[in-house]
């Protein structure tokens, strides 16, 4: 545990000097400069406490109260904006500081107001993604807490807090210069404008967009949390047990976790791993709109058919990525359409996913006849290796010939445009008009859309995990690939998507249900192309994948 706490502290330090700290940096500098000696410490203390508490508990708290996921962030932005305006308008400042007079004879608002500002910043602080903060996010999303998870999150926050404290003290030192001290009222107004300006940027979501224009100059410093020893500790924390790693050797990783919180079973009565003792079990975590999962499916189905009589049981654990994948009827329809005949567990609450400490779609785990995990593989590929392990675990019986080599391996072997999400929660490489979340708005496509970027045109409603087409809805994507796939939804009616590639009409796609659709399969090797799509109103789009 000490290793992971230390790694988390270093990761926090790296975060605090990275581009993702830029949106809150002006507030820390200005906030530290507009008070007494204790104010910088109060700001950082508030940030550390609120970041630790709300990173771990906000999801569960808001869900329990039935409140919107972005409520706390909106409140925090309002507080920051109020602090900024109170510095610009002294009368409002005195009114805001009055509640903190009870803290003692110190200058009102010096510590209390600083702590309130820091608490708000803890809600607005968005760390750069790394293994430590990703592990914390998984724990928060699945409402699993422990003393260790609290200590790791607190250590991360303290690492960032130490650096931010230096910035706050620097801001205070600057304001104490004699020349600036003589103009203290005017300086406070300028600093208030800086704080209020940062809050306005956050209201329109421009803070994160501006940060993306700054190169990731700290990426090499994150190696400390990506090392083998640190990764083992992170996996153990997330899984609540020693996480199964994709080792090249066949090892014994201990007893396999049971299926947990399964909503429904397809193609089978409810199963337990205890009831399957004496069988070799392949656990396949998947979801039906994931192209990587679909490319592995022919192998899993063939293994299930080929080795059933020899003692292999395949269990698909369907853990949804999008909301429509939680609907049992949708999964049942997909299972029939894809010809999946083995048992499928609907893991809508992530109970089995969490019990296994899983992090990937697809992920395959092999359990031997004694109920111990012996092998894992994440993602596509290594089909022959996986089948060799199946045969090894079944070796006490005569086996048929291997089958993996008889299936065409569609795993991409070159660098393609990465998976591209369209909803506001995970959108990346978006260019053109400013995003307007959660309401219909007009968008325009710029003249140039850079490689692996996309832009919207016409009217769209951009929701968290999808976009919904309005009148004249269009989309342009520059991509490098041979095939293009898109998860689409119809919302109860047939929708139409017109597909053009490099300026020429390619096909018309009829969208009748929520699933993955093939938009393009181009001749030759993967290359650079431009995709233009036109959508009939009401069409829902979720994410692109490529092959």
pLDDT in tens, 283-328: 999 988 887 888 888 899 999 999 888 889 999 999 988 778 888 8
Does residue 106 carry a pLDDT above 70?
no
Task: Give the model's confidence band at 104: pLDDT under 50 very low, under 70 low, under 90 confident, else very high.
Answer: very low
Q: What is the DSSP letter of 406?
A: G
CA 443 – CA 534 distance, rounded (Å): 13
Task: Give the model's confidence band at 265: pLDDT under 50 very low, under 70 low, under 90 confident, else very high.
Answer: very high
Task: Give the model's confidence band at 126: pLDDT under 50 very low, under 70 low, under 90 confident, else very high.
Answer: low
Least confident of 137-141, 150-154, 227-231, 437-441: 137-141
Average pLDDT over residues 478-493: 90
Q: Among positive and negative, which fits the CA dihedral 418, 419, 422, 424?
A: negative
Which pLDDT score is estimated for 260?
Answer: 92
Least confident of 299-313, 402-416, 427-441, 471-485: 402-416
CA 154 – CA 52 distance, rounded (Å): 5
CA 191 – CA 86 distance, rounded (Å): 11
Q: How far is CA 505 from CA 102, 204, 530, in A?
A: 71, 36, 12
Q: CATH top-level class for 420-546?
A: mainly beta
Q: Can you list the pairs that 441-447 forms with residues at least 24 positions away whose Cβ atoms lie under 8 Å?
A: 445/474, 445/476
225 vs 269, more confident: 269
Bridge pairing between strands 515-521 and 504-511: unpaired
91: which residues sit within 8 A by CB, 6+ positions away?
none
Average pLDDT over residues 329-354: 90
Residues pairing with 420 in the sheet: 544
Which pLDDT score is estimated for 35?
Answer: 65
Q: Which helix (H) or strand (E) holds 302?
A: helix 291-307
Average pLDDT over residues 329-347: 91
Q: In whole numbers, what is the pLDDT of the chain averaged over residues?
A: 78
434 vs 22, more confident: 434
For residues 39-52, b (16+ Cβ closer than 10 Å) or e, as one string? bbbbbbbbbbbbbb
CA 178 – CA 155 distance, rounded (Å): 37
Q: In this prediction, what percent of the chain has a pLDDT beyond 70? A: 71
**241-406 and 420-546 agree in CATH topology:** no
Average pLDDT over residues 30-46: 75
Residues pairing with 266 in the sheet: 344
370 vs 130, more confident: 370
Domain locations along the chain = 2-224, 241-406, 420-546
Task: Give the model's confidence band at 248: pLDDT under 50 very low, under 70 low, under 90 confident, else very high.
Answer: very low
16 vs 38, more confident: 38
Least confident of 63-77, 318-332, 334-348: 63-77
Angle at 255 between CA 252 and CA 259, to 5 degrees: 130
CB 414 within 8 A of CB 391: no
Which pLDDT score is estimated for 32?
Answer: 64
Least confident of 181-190, 365-374, 479-488, 526-535: 181-190
183: which residues sit within 8 A by CB, 6+ positions away?
none
Q: How far is CA 190 from CA 34, 39, 193, 294, 350, in A?
A: 11, 18, 5, 56, 49
Task: Give the model's confidence band at 542: pLDDT under 50 very low, under 70 low, under 90 confident, else very high.
Answer: very high
Average pLDDT over residues 448-465: 92
| CA-based nearest residue to 517, from 528, 494, 525 | 494
Question: What would the pLDDT profile of 191-241 be if each residue is shown by its tens digit?
Answer: 678 777 777 776 765 554 455 445 545 545 555 555 556 666 666 666 544
Task: Give the model's confidence band at 1: pLDDT under 50 very low, under 70 low, under 90 confident, else very high.
Answer: low
407 vs 144, more confident: 407
CA 105 – CA 111 distance, rounded (Å): 11
* Crossing angle between the packed helical segments 112-124 and 71-88, to the nearest 10 degrees: 140
Query: Has this prediction a pTM greater than 0.75?
Result: no
> CATH classification of 241-406 is 3.40.30.10, yes or no?
yes
Average pLDDT over residues 246-269: 80
- Tokens representing 191 are 């600093």
Average pLDDT over residues 10-26: 70
Q: Within 38-146, where are the H helices?
A: 39-65, 71-88, 90-97, 112-124, 131-141
CA 517 – CA 489 distance, rounded (Å): 10
Least confident of 53-62, 225-234, 415-424: 225-234
Least confident of 25-29, 315-319, 500-504: 25-29
Average pLDDT over residues 523-534: 89
Backbone angles phi, psi at 480, to 5 degrees: -125, 105
Average pLDDT over residues 93-108: 50
């Amino acid at each position: 545990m000490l290793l992971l706490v230390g790694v988390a502290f270093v990761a926090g330090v790296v975060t605090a000097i990275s581009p993702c700290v830029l949106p809150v940096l002006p507030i820390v500098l200005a906030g530290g400069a507009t008070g007494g000696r204790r104010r910088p410490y109060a700001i950082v203390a508030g940030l550390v406490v609120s970041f630790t508490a709300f990173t771990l508990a906000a999801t569960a708290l808001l869900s329990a109260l039935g409140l919107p996921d972005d409520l706390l962030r909106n409140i925090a932005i309002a507080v920051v904006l109020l602090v900024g305006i109170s510095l610009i308008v002294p009368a409002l400042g005195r009114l805001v500081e009055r509640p903190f007079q009870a803290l003692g004879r110190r200058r009102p608002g010096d510590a209390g107001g600083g702590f309130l500002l820091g608490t708000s910043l803890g809600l607005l602080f968005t760390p750069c993604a790394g293994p430590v903060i990703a592990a914390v996010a998984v724990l928060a999303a699945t409402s699993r807490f422990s003393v260790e998870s609290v200590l790791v999150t607190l250590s991360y926050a303290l690492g960032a807090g130490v650096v931010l404290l230096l910035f706050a003290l620097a801001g205070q030192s600057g304001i104490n210069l004699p020349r600036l001290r003589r103009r203290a009222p005017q300086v406070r107004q300028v600093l208030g404008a800086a704080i209020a300006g940062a809050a306005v940027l956050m209201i329109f979501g421009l803070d994160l967009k501006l940060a993306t224009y700054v190169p990731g100059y700290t990426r090499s410093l994150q190696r400390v949390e990506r090392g083998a020893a640190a990764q083992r500790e992170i996996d153990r924390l997330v899984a609540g047990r020693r996480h199964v790693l994709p080792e090249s050797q066949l090892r014994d990783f201990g007893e396999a976790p049971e299926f947990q919180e399964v909503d429904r079973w397809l193609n089978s009565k409810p199963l337990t791993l205890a009831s399957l003792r004496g069988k070799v079990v392949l656990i396949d975590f998947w979801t039906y709109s994931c192209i990587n999962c679909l490319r592995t499916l022919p192998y899993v189905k063939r293994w299930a058919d080929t080795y059933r009589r020899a003692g292999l049981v395949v269990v698909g654990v369907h853990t949804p990525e999008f909301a429509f994948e939680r609907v049992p009827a949708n999964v049942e329809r997909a299972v029939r359409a894809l010809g999946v005949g083995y048992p499928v567990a609907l893991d809508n609450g992530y109970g089995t996913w969490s019990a296994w400490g899983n992090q990937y779609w697809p992920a395959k785990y092999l359990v031997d006849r004694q109920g111990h995990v012996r092998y894992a593989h994440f993602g596509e590929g290594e089909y022959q290796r996986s089948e060799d392990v199946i045969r090894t675990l079944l070796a006490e019986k005569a086996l048929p010939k291997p089958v993996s080599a008889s299936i065409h391996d569609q795993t991409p072997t070159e660098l393609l445009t990465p998976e591209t999400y369209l909803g506001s929660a995970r959108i990346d490489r978006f260019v053109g008009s400013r995003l307007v979340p959660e309401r219909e708005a007009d968008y325009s496509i710029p003249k140039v859309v850079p490689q692996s970027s996309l832009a919207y045109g016409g009217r769209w409603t951009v929701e968290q995990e999808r976009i919904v087409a309005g009148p004249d809805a269009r989309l342009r994507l520059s991509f490098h690939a041979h095939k293009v796939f898109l998860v689409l939804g119809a919302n109860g009616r047939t929708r139409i998507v017109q597909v053009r590639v490099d300026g020429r009409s390619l096909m018309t796609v009829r969208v009748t249900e929520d699933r993955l659709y093939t938009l393009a399969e181009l001749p030759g090797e993967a290359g650079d192309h431009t995709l233009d799509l036109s959508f009939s109103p009401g069409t829902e789009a979720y994410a692109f994948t490529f092959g």
